[in-house]
Structure 1
Amino acid sequence: MDQQAIQNLVENTSLEFFNKPFRHKAFFNTRLRTTGGRYMLASHNIELNIHYLHEHGRDELIGIIKHELCHYHLHIEGKGFKHRDRDFRELIKEVSAPRFCTPLPSQEVKKRPVRKRHVYQCSICEQRFVRKVRMNLTKYVCGKCKGPLRYLGEAK
């Protein structure tokens, strides 16, 4: 999809769902990573993430366009255009635009492996200590009573 095609798509979507013209520029921004699109307050332009078109298709992109057009039209009219504003939430429901876009499979955050936790207990006062790193029991004693520590094992 080239620049003119995306401009036409945004203009047609604006007329179809909002019955209002879109008079500014819409374009793809290849540097967007964490968002589907962005409405620029100063210039009234709309930037779209091209990766959503490639990975989720045209329907998802139209949903993002409708979301950004909600920001656009409400801001132009001087109404509440932020996500938390009532005007925005009502318009989102009216045009059935998504409130948030689906995450990109290529950008999903890889989860870190769960680190082991080592549990120690004082032999005298029975105070428990949980540590990320295993300790040398010959060097360390209980911080509460100075008693010797013993290793209980791993906890999750």
Structure 2
Amino acid sequence: VTQTATTLSGLTHLEGQTVSILADGSVHADATVSSGAITLNRHVTKAHVGLGYSSTLRTLRVDGGSAIGSAQGKVKRINDLTVRLYRSVGLKVGRDADNLDVVPFRSSATSMDAPNVLFSGDKEIELNGNYDSDGQFTIRQDQPLPMTVLAAYATLSTFDQ
């Protein structure tokens, strides 16, 4: 017999704090700890509760070369990006922190009442970036979900003038 609960206690060390919750593998709405406990909006069998935070990866300026030497200082554009992940789900990618797009992980075959399966492999992402002299991109995880980035590499167009 598996027990379920809607109230989680033992959180006195987080009293008055807003906490992030991963309930049965799915993100639950944030809650504020009161009297050392939180109340969930559904029954759960397993929950992880803690202070929320964002993980942000910002690349260095890329140098993919150009027809006349280095790409440093030249105008360039990242066309698309491949992110190699290990047991990850729920990330955002964009040319900077103000222009992030959610990377889809759920297929049409996945039941909406089931959590996403953790993904390992390459995610190919079309990056909606503009031309600039940096050629950088940002990857962010702002949900209580796992994200392990093993590699990130891009195709690049360089303006050689």
Please report the TM-score for the alignment, with normalisation by the length of structure 2.
0.20
Point out the structure with the larger strand share: 2
* Larger RCO (CA under 8 A, 6+ residues apart): 2
Bigger Cα Rg: 1
Point out the structure with the larger helix share: 1
